[in-house]
Amino acid sequence: MSDKHIITFLSDFGTQDGYAGSVKGVIKSIYPRSEIIDITHEIKPFDIRSAAFTLLNYYRQYPGGTVHLAVVDPGVGGERKPVIVRTAHYYFVGPDNGIFQYLLAREAYTLYAINAEKLPPSPESFTFHARDIFGPTAALLAGGTHPEDIGQRIDNTTQIISGIRHKSDSLYEVDCISVDRFGNIISAFSRIDMERLKGQSVKNIRVKNRTLPSLKKYYSQVKKGELLALWNSQDFLEVAVCQGSAVDKLDFDAQKDHLEIELEKAKA
């Protein structure tokens, strides 16, 4: 085993301003043995849902004990609490604004509200929570501080990123939460949502005047260039094109366009 402790870092800061760099400096100052691994700083500004989904793509691959720092924070300084999420293998540090929602639906966890007064005081004149609260918290956890020493347990999280709207009996309107590099359209509707709607299953998916009649299991179940819908590797409903881009084929605008999901009684 290495004697270093890993802190991964995801944000929407970009790198040009040096703010992500300042957070890394604070971490190294508080806990020099930490090893910081950049995931990305190119999350679209304030796109909490995209960050929440991206987090699922990497956190499980890291060694036990890793601290995952994830900061996309449109409400910085407002009501949302800075939190620590503790799971069996990892810590997560960030704002309680939904960024950990998909994660929390998949893991058993304990939740702590960070008490900023327990952190090292910042000498800076203005407040930048990533540098003054989230970064120091991640550094302390990586160095062995127990969450109870810098926060108190809380029960509930803020879940504000649903993106699923009930339209009628069997019809749901669903947002796109992410478009990946290949042009796949990832919807906010997951198998976990499906399971909550007991006894129902997906009848069809409509997107941009196209109706996809059933879910496939693999991309290769349709011909090259054809549309399909499937549960993706993170269990979200995804619209894709075999060896192509669904966004391009459908001229899909992730900000304006939605998917419609029609359910039916599950066949026994």
Which spans of this chain sit near a second copy (rule: CB under 8 A)?
1-2, 4, 6, 8, 10, 13-26, 28-29, 32-33, 36-45, 50, 54-63, 66, 124-126, 128, 131, 178, 180-181, 233
CB of 246 to a second copy, least distance (A): 15
Closest among 118, 66, 75, 120 to 93, alpha carbons compared: 66
CB of 80 to a second copy, least distance (A): 15
Query: Closer to a second copy at the Cβ: 64 or 199?
Result: 64
Which contacts qualify for 13-22: CB closer than 8 Å, 24 or more apart?
13/41, 13/71, 13/130, 14/41, 14/42, 15/41, 19/128, 19/130, 19/131, 22/128, 22/131
Question: What's the CA gap between 172 and 164, in Å, rounded?
Answer: 7
CB of 39 to a second copy, least distance (A): 4
Query: Closer to a second copy at the Cβ: 50 or 157?
Result: 50
Query: Closer to a second copy at the Cβ: 44 or 249?
Result: 44
CB of 40 to a second copy, least distance (A): 4
CB of 261 to a second copy, least distance (A): 22
Query: Closer to a second copy at the Cβ: 8 or 157?
Result: 8
Query: Closer to a second copy at the Cβ: 28 or 208?
Result: 28
